[in-house]
């Protein structure tokens, strides 16, 4: 009588299963940082593209209007001026009456938040304060002189700024970059300078151009340490609340963020910019130290 030997199919033991799970966990741990770096790089490229579109829109505005867009309670913010040039579905009627066009994707940094509301994530450079020290060897005294040099986007209907007025060179003069926004205000409504192109009738919400809340924070002076990362929020106690109103910064990794220049180029800078880059006619020497 033939004997049939039944084969017993052997499954994984508990130890083998744990080893497989551990290997998968290690591989995922190695993969996640790489995926995050790729996502950060893509977001920075998208942000640079947004700034490129805004800078080119300013040049198109200049070609039609004979000047660069300004930023004042008279002319409105540069966001308002650029709406027709970024293909926003709106119609502007003098004097600067505009319906609510809704979120504009070009105005929002993808490393920070999605374009679900009328956010304005970029700010123009209002200029900088140039400090000069003069020593008197006779009286042993030092004189400190502070002169403010305006930025390109500070013009209005009276004080217009044209490309020909940028005597420091368009490739040496900055136009805009990411503004600083506290991370706890990403989903908020408003952060300083948001709604810069939206018309409201509620007395508790500023109009799109008639108050300093929008116009004053849509352009900002530059300082020696001008980039303040969004994660350094006023709530964390690491920075002053004024950073959210007066500083530049972003949610990009390694403090590297794109910066739009008057010649139409967009370059990456880390930590901050040389203040002289914000003035267009100060005559200071500018050194390019982009990474």
| pLDDT at site 3 | 53
pLDDT classification of 245: cutoffs 50, 70, 90: low
Per residue in 164-219, pLDDT tens? 999 999 999 999 999 888 887 787 655 666 777 765 443 333 344 334 445 447 88
Per residue in 88-112, pLDDT tens? 755 444 444 445 567 788 999 999 9
47 pLDDT higher than 90: yes
| pLDDT at site 178 | 92
Residue 91 buriedness (CB in 10 A; 0-12 / 13-18 / 19+): exposed
Phi, psi of 241 (to 5 degrees): -65, -20
Average pLDDT over residues 254-283: 88
Beta bridge pairs of residue 141: 136
Per mean pLDDT, which of 102-111, 128-137, 244-253 is the most reliable? 102-111
Which stretches within the chain are classed as H helix? 14-65, 78-82, 212-218, 243-246
Distance in angstroms (rounded) separating the CA atoms of residues 201 and 263: 38
Q: In 3D, which of 183, 196, 188 has the Cα closest to residue 233?
A: 183
Cα angle 151, 70, 260 (rounded to 5 degrees) comes to: 55
Distance in angstroms (rounded) separating the CA atoms of residues 151 and 28: 48
Across the chain, mean pLDDT equals 77
| pLDDT at site 191 | 63
């Amino acid at each position: 009588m033939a004997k049939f030997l039944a084969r017993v199919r052997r499954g994984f033991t508990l130890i083998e299963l744990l080893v497989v799970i551990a290997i998968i966990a290690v591989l995922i741990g190695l993969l996640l940082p790489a995926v995050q770096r790729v996502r950060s790089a893509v977001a920075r490229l998208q942000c640079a593209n947004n700034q490129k579109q805004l800078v080119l829109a300013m040049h198109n505005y200049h070609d039609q209007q004979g000047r660069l867009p300004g930023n004042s309670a008279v002319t409105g913010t540069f966001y308002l001026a650029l709406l027709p040039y970024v293909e926003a579905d709106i119609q502007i009627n003098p004097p600067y009456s505009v319906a609510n066009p809704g979120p504009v994707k070009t105005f929002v940094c993808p490393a920070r938040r999605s374009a679900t509301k009328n956010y304005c994530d970029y700010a123009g450079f209002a200029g900088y304060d140039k400090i000069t020290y003069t020593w008197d060897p006779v009286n042993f005294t030092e004189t400190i002189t502070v002169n403010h040099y305006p930025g390109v986007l500070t013009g209005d209907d009276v004080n217009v700024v044209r490309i020909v007025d940028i005597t420091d060179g368009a490739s040496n003069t900055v136009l805009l970059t990411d503004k600083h926004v506290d991370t706890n205000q990403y989903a908020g409504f408003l952060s300083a300078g948001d709604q810069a192109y939206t018309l409201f009738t509620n007395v508790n919400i500023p109009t799109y151009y008639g108050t300093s809340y929008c116009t004053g924070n849509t352009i900002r002076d530059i300082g020696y340490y001008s980039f303040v990362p969004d994660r350094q929020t006023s709530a964390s106690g690491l920075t002053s609340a004024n950073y959210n109103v007066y500083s530049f910064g972003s949610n990009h990794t390694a403090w590297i963020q794109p910066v739009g220049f008057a010649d139409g180029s967009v370059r990456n800078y880390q930590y901050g910019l040389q203040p002289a880059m914000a003035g267009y006619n100060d005559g200071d020497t500018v050194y390019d130290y982009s990474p």
